[in-house]
Amino acid sequence: MPAQTVDSFEFCRLGERLSGATPVAGFDRLLRDLADANGEIRWRFEGGRHPQGLPQLAMAVEGEVTLVCQRCLAPFVHPIASETLLVLASDEASADEVEQRLDDDSLEVIAGSTALDLLQLVEDEALLSLPLSPRHPVCPGDVLAVAVDKPESPFAVLKKLKT
């Protein structure tokens, strides 16, 4: 996967925007968990400032990947749709301090860089969106999932006689 690197601090300071689409086949780590390399991941980044003055990146990741159902072992399409707010710190040590200071579960604090690889962040987000145990909502051919008319309960019949 070719890198898409930016100076993250300048990107945020200038309020820059960057978007694109990368074939699923371009993400080596993600590909290991998939049934095939079809599809693409669309991504978007927007730099800005957190209300406390810290640099922040708004990241959106969308697409569809093919997983293998753990119940029936058939492939199925899994949608990825994620929006994340990343606050940048100067290094890992200060990232922990910033995270404690902000105490906000709706955002992530990461160490920024003058050569931050945005596609690596996209791949990380796609991996985090995969289910631990991928499954169809209803497996094809699943007999239990087919709606069957149930006979009326004997107790319901007795209730009718009572009235």
Taking a C-beta distance cutoff of 8 angstroms, is the pair 39, 10 a contact?
A: no
- Domain limits of the chain? 5-162
Q: What is the pLDDT of residue 118?
A: 96
pLDDT: is 156 or 33 the higher one?
Answer: 33
Q: Is the pLDDT of residue 69 over 70?
A: yes
Q: Read off the pTM.
A: 0.81
Q: What is the pLDDT of residue 150?
A: 62
Give φ, ψ of 20 to 5 degrees. 180, -175
Rounded CA gap, 105 and 101, in Å?
12
Q: Is the pLDDT of residue 87 over 90?
A: yes
> Mean pLDDT lowest for which of 25-34, 56-65, 141-150?
141-150
pLDDT band at 140 (very low <50, low <70, confident <90, very high): confident
Cα atoms found within 13 Å of the Cα of residue 13, Cβ hemisphere only: 7
Q: What is the pLDDT of residue 146?
A: 47
